[in-house]
Chain A
Amino acid sequence: MNYFKTIINGIFKENPTFVLLLGMCPTLATTTSAMNGLGMGVATMFVLICSNTFISLFKNLIPDGVRIPCYIVVIASFVTALQMLMQAYVPDLYKTLGIFIPLIVVNCIILGRAEAFAAKNNILAAICDGIGIGIGFTVALTLLGFVRELLGSGAVFGHQVMPTSMNMLVFVLAPGAFITLGLLMAIVNSIKNRKA
């Protein structure tokens, strides 16, 4: 099953956060809790799947000379649509993610996949790629959010599991984002090294 492989590939071998190192801004900024990480991941996945589908569908109609501006317009439209939908139906998440929703436009993952994958493959493969990369991104963000929330506010998905006096606030703040991601990356590397 080739399509299945594409999806798995996006989650592990080409994980956008841990392997491709793309889209770092939302990864660090929005993962103060597992729920926020999940929300950002799903929002990005939505845009990624839509833009991959659209671009793969119309790849032959877009001349090479204007392909980047066309991709940007397509991505920006999906992002704006998403922004309005979130504002209407999940206002709390919209408020928390704030400026990072319009900034999905400049997330290198989306333009990168449009250029490297969707423009060269058929529509089904492009959708699978969107799903795979999207899930990979979502998993990474949720994991990062989970660790930061647990250490920083002693909670798991908003449920308090440790007394507040044991909170290490720094993990919710900016430095904690860098340090947690650095350590998670080191763990991923050491697993990879052991396999090799």
Chain B
Amino acid sequence: MKKLKSNIANMAIVLTLIAVLAAGALAWVNDETSGPIEEINNAAIENGIKSVILGDRDIEFTVESPREQDGFVFHNVNDRNGNLLGTAVESTDKNGFGGALKIMVGFDPDGVILGYTVLEHSETPGLGAQADGWFRQKSADVQEQPVALDILLGKPAAPGNHNIIGMNPGDDMMTVSKDGGDVDAITASTITSKAFLRAVNAAYKALFGYTAADAVSGASSQN
């Protein structure tokens, strides 16, 4: 077959044809994938709710339809008798290290933190991105290594207190220790840690109306 000549008519027809074809094909793919994509997004939220409220507990539960308010999303979780197990709150802080940090945090009816998960972040890999594990590590399992390595590399730093599970932002100072709070920041990632704790405090405040950090110092919650 001979190659088409580059006259205006040919060029216009071919380009239009390809563009229309491409748009049509994409519309079809979009149609085919929009279902699975929505399912996955819903599943992610559902898994998040399950993990921040129930943790490892295996009990029957139902999730009420979400309630949105001032940028927060609340999911109430009930056990099968309809008693409130806790509330999972989606909360965003705009000033993480690389931009917004979005978390979901679960509170029991008294305000005790049951669990959390990081939904979206743009923190530095290896540093701020550790937030997903850092704030639930118990002091004991922070670092363990063979004795030979202790001699070779020196003992690992003393484990700090950065497990927020079980804390209550209404009673505990949920700010980094540098600001007089009770939580150790991620090593070399104070900004991420502050953003994370701000998001937790904001979620609590949206749910219960006050936090301990608010009452003690307005300054630390500002920066």
Residues of chain A at the chain B interface (Cβ within 8 Å):
32, 59-66, 69-70, 73-74, 76-77, 80-81, 84-85, 87-89, 91, 152-153, 163-167, 169, 172-173
List A contacts of B40 (CB < 8 A).
87-88, 91
Interface residues of B in 148-204 (CB under 8 A from A): 149, 153, 156
The answer to whether B143 and A62 have CB atoms under 8 Å apart is no
In the bound complex, residues from chain A placing their C-beta under 8 Å from that of B11 are: 63, 65-66
Centre residue among A60, A62, A69, A80 by max chain B CB count within 10 A: A62
Using a Cβ–Cβ cut-off of 8 Å, how many residues does chain B contribute to the interface with A? 33
**B125 adjacent to A172 (CB under 8 Å):** yes
**Residues 38-55 of B contacting A (Cβ, < 8 Å):** 40, 44
Q: Once the chains bind, are A69 and B15 in contact (CB under 8 Å)?
A: yes
- Tell me which residues across on chain B come within 8 A of A89, comparing CB atoms: 36
Chain B residues touching A, majority SS: helix
A63 touches B4 (CB 8 A): yes
Q: Which of B25, B29, B156 has the most CB of A within 10 A?
A: B29
Interface centre among B7, B14, B124 (most CB of A within 10 A): B14
Check B44–A91 contact: CB distance below 8 A.
yes
Nearest residue in A to B2 (C-beta to C-beta)? A60
Q: Are A165 and B153 in contact (CB under 8 A)?
A: yes
Q: Would you give the shortest CB distance from A179 to chain B, in whole angstroms?
A: 15
CB<8 Å pairs between A and B, sample of 20: A61-B4, A63-B11, A63-B14, A64-B6, A65-B6, A66-B6, A66-B14, A70-B18, A73-B15, A73-B18, A73-B19, A74-B22, A84-B33, A85-B33, A87-B37, A89-B36, A165-B145, A165-B149, A165-B153, A169-B127
| A interface majority secondary structure | helix
Whole-angstrom CA separation of A169 from B26 in the bound complex:
41
CA distance in complex: A44, B15 (Å): 24
Give B1-31 interface residues, CB cut-off 8 Å to A: 1-7, 10-11, 14-15, 18-19, 22, 25-26, 29-30
Total contacts A-B at CB 8 Å: 84
A153 touches B18 (CB 8 A): no
B126 lies within 8 A of chain A by Cβ: yes
Contact of A84 among B1, B14, B22, B29 (CB under 8 A): B29
**Chain B residues with Cβ under 8 A from A84's Cβ?**
29-30, 33, 37
Q: From residue A59, how far is it (CB to closest CB) to chain B in Å? A: 8
* Shortest distance between the CB of B156 and any CB in chain A (Å): 6
| Closest A residue by C-beta to B9 | A63
Cα–Cα, bound, A66→B14 (Å): 8
Asked if B26 and A87 make an inter-chain contact with CB atoms under 8 angstroms apart, the answer reads: no
Contacts of B145 in A (CB 8 A): 163, 165
State the CA gap A88–B33 with chains docked (Å): 6
**Residue pair A85, B29 in contact (C-beta under 8 Å):** yes
> Please, how many angstroms separate the alpha-carbon atoms of A63 and B14 in the complex?
8
20 further A-B contacts with Cβ under 8 Å, apart from A73-B18, A164-B143, are: A60-B4, A63-B6, A63-B14, A65-B6, A66-B15, A69-B15, A70-B14, A70-B18, A73-B19, A74-B18, A76-B22, A80-B29, A81-B29, A87-B37, A88-B37, A163-B145, A163-B146, A165-B149, A167-B126, A169-B126
A80 to B19, CA, bound (A): 13
Q: Say yes or no: A172 contacts B126, CB within 8 Å.
A: yes
B134 to chain A, nearest CB (A): 13
Taking the closest CB of chain B, its distance from the CB of A46, in whole angstroms, is: 13
Taking the closest CB of chain B, its distance from the CB of A104, in whole angstroms, is 15
